[in-house]
Chains A and B, each alone.
Chain A
């Protein structure tokens, strides 16, 4: 309870100062995404994340860690503006995708460039596996010829290693798959559009260890073609698969750096306390 109150503190001068230090933590060369002094509020002048600045490296896995309520999901959702689905949200600062401020773009267009995978597998229960994969095209009324669709479906399912498992059942409902398969289907659905960035919000927290391992292997393989940003509260997952890690605490980006560096020699003692289980 106490932590949420603190997390919603209004921006103050001291917080701002802290951020100047944060910005120098890690310099990413030619980032694909640049978060610039971003603060997000779900209403009023209480901010769930405050003055976050960070560059996201291309073709790498960036993990966002932190205890519940630290703002990691909010930060992730602010990148494809999914947080705007809640009423009364507003934000300060900017996020640049290439040269464009995403808050100046049409959110519909933006979300086609930045795919998302959620905590619980959420394939559309009324659609077949096939239709789930091309749901992005169907939803947006993009008409494709049958061979094009077939190609996209096969490519996407191959990318997530699901093709061999489901190729004979493409027109069955996706809800009959196991949890891990469903989650890979959801990743395939996000990949079908060939977005630049894929955001994953604790994608394995509802899965068993074997399914989790499969997803982790998959993400490592996928970073060749995509930039991956992963929210996780599983520290060992972040350590295993991410190249860069962010540690968030009470709405602030406390530390950001190479994962190896952060796990072996954290610079901020809050990070150290989190990694050693003293907070969080």
Chain B
């Protein structure tokens, strides 16, 4: 066998290996969830019980599904005005120069900070502030987590946006200017309609990140197993529940955690797929 062939097989086998690993992970999730699914059926998704007391064990995913959606959607809402402004700034107003490239590196830096560091910052800097403001006694909760999440997802929400904004054809902008449009009118009537679906896709992908984010949220959300009463209440997300409880879990609790993992996987899968579909439609 010549080296050409060996190389080809090497490439092919590493590609196949990745697929096998992915299939393996999904299979593990499915197989691991079977006992829990047999016990609770689809009711698992709608039950708000999380009771590990022996003899009266009962598990349901609803508080965590709600907690996850609340934190990530709230984070997206908080991030939107900032990410959108950054996209416009870097994509249209100041594409070149020192300040934009400095801003770009700072945003890239945000994406590189480890999640646990965000958690620490949230714990020691943001939490006391929230507590001081009287929003929440200890400063923990959905709101605190969402603020930190919002900062974490800014790079994801803004980078795709600035890219599609900068790709809006100059000829369309010229057409609008030639009709007497101001820059703001060009942004509103030409750039946003033309880049809108790309900007939106960026937010969907950022939402996917926020949904799966674990460490920073675990440190700040308060880890209550009840359905949160509001955005200032304590709560728990699927990811942080798993991170908190998998170590001591066995039996029904273990399989319930795996099923929550499966649900988390499906939700992030759908969100990412949605984002990719929009992007594909955009480039077609």
A-to-B contact residues, CB < 8 Å: 80, 82, 85, 108-112, 115-116, 118, 120, 122-127, 135-136, 138-141, 186, 189-190, 193
B178 near A111 (CB under 8 angstroms)? yes
Say if the beta carbon of B176 comes within 8 Å of chain A: yes
What residue of chain B has the Cβ atom nearest to residue A121's Cβ? Answer: B171
What residue of chain B has the Cβ atom nearest to residue A85's Cβ? Answer: B177
B-to-A contact residues, CB < 8 Å: 169, 171-172, 174-182, 185-186, 189-190, 193-194
A139 near B179 (CB under 8 angstroms)? yes
A37 and B186 CA atoms in complex are apart in Å by: 32
Given A125-B194, A141-B185, A136 contacting B174 (CB threshold 8 A): no
CB distance from A146 to the nearest CB of B (A): 19
CB distance from B172 to the nearest CB of A (A): 6
CB distance from A226 to the nearest CB of B (A): 15
CB distance from B194 to the nearest CB of A (A): 6
Which of B179, B182, B185 is within 8 Å of A189, CB to CB?
B179
Given A125-B194, A126-B194, A139-B185, A85 contacting B179 (CB threshold 8 A): no
Which of B171, B178, B186 is within 8 Å of A190, CB to CB?
B178
A-B contact pairs, 21 of them (CB 8 A): A82-B178, A108-B180, A108-B181, A108-B182, A109-B180, A118-B178, A122-B171, A122-B175, A124-B190, A124-B193, A125-B172, A125-B194, A127-B193, A135-B175, A139-B176, A139-B180, A139-B185, A139-B186, A140-B179, A140-B185, A189-B175
CB distance from A217 to the nearest CB of B (A): 23
| 13 additional contacts (CB under 8 A) given A80-B178, A124-B175 | A85-B174, A108-B181, A111-B179, A112-B179, A115-B179, A116-B178, A122-B172, A124-B172, A124-B176, A124-B190, A139-B185, A140-B179, A140-B180
Residues of chain B within 8 A of A139, CB atoms compared = 176, 179-181, 185-186, 189
Residues of chain B within 8 A of A138, CB atoms compared = 189
CB distance from B199 to the nearest CB of A (A): 13
A82 and B171 CA atoms in complex are apart in Å by: 12
Residues of chain B within 8 A of A140, CB atoms compared = 179-181, 185
What residue of chain B has the Cβ atom nearest to residue A119's Cβ? Answer: B171
B180 near A118 (CB under 8 angstroms)? no
Given A85-B174, A118-B174, A126 contacting B193 (CB threshold 8 A): yes
A85 and B175 CA atoms in complex are apart in Å by: 12
Residues of chain A within 8 A of B176, CB atoms compared = 124, 135, 139
CB distance from A66 to the nearest CB of B (A): 21
Residues of chain B within 8 A of A125, CB atoms compared = 172, 194
What residue of chain B has the Cβ atom nearest to residue A137's Cβ? Answer: B179
B185 near A136 (CB under 8 angstroms)? no
CB distance from A118 to the nearest CB of B (A): 6
A136 and B175 CA atoms in complex are apart in Å by: 10
Residues of chain A within 8 A of B190, CB atoms compared = 124
A141 and B189 CA atoms in complex are apart in Å by: 10
What residue of chain B has the Cβ atom nearest to residue A110's Cβ? Answer: B180
CB distance from B88 to the nearest CB of A (A): 17
CB distance from A93 to the nearest CB of B (A): 22
A127 and B179 CA atoms in complex are apart in Å by: 15
A117 and B6 CA atoms in complex are apart in Å by: 59
What residue of chain A has the Cβ atom nearest to residue B197's Cβ? Answer: A126
A177 and B164 CA atoms in complex are apart in Å by: 25
Q: Which of B171, B176, B179 has the most CB of A within 10 A?
A: B179
What residue of chain A has the Cβ atom nearest to residue B170's Cβ? Answer: A85
B194 near A118 (CB under 8 angstroms)? no
A225 and B128 CA atoms in complex are apart in Å by: 71
Residues of chain B within 8 A of A80, CB atoms compared = 178
Residues of chain A within 8 A of B181, CB atoms compared = 108, 139-140
Given A122-B172, A124-B172, A136 contacting B179 (CB threshold 8 A): yes
Counting from the closest, the 8 A-B pairs by CB-CB distance are: A116-B178, A136-B179, A126-B193, A112-B180, A139-B181, A122-B171, A111-B180, A122-B175
Residues of chain A within 8 A of B182, CB atoms compared = 108
What residue of chain B has the Cβ atom nearest to residue A111's Cβ? Answer: B180
CB distance from A195 to the nearest CB of B (A): 10
What residue of chain A has the Cβ atom nearest to residue B176's Cβ? Answer: A139
Residues of chain A within 8 A of B172, CB atoms compared = 122, 124-125
Given A125-B194, A140-B185, A120 contacting B171 (CB threshold 8 A): yes
A141 and B184 CA atoms in complex are apart in Å by: 11
A82 near B180 (CB under 8 angstroms)? no
Residues of chain A within 8 A of B185, CB atoms compared = 139-141
A180 and B109 CA atoms in complex are apart in Å by: 49
Residues of chain B within 8 A of A109, CB atoms compared = 180
What residue of chain B has the Cβ atom nearest to residue A81's Cβ? Answer: B177
A138 and B178 CA atoms in complex are apart in Å by: 14
A193 and B180 CA atoms in complex are apart in Å by: 10
A186 and B189 CA atoms in complex are apart in Å by: 17
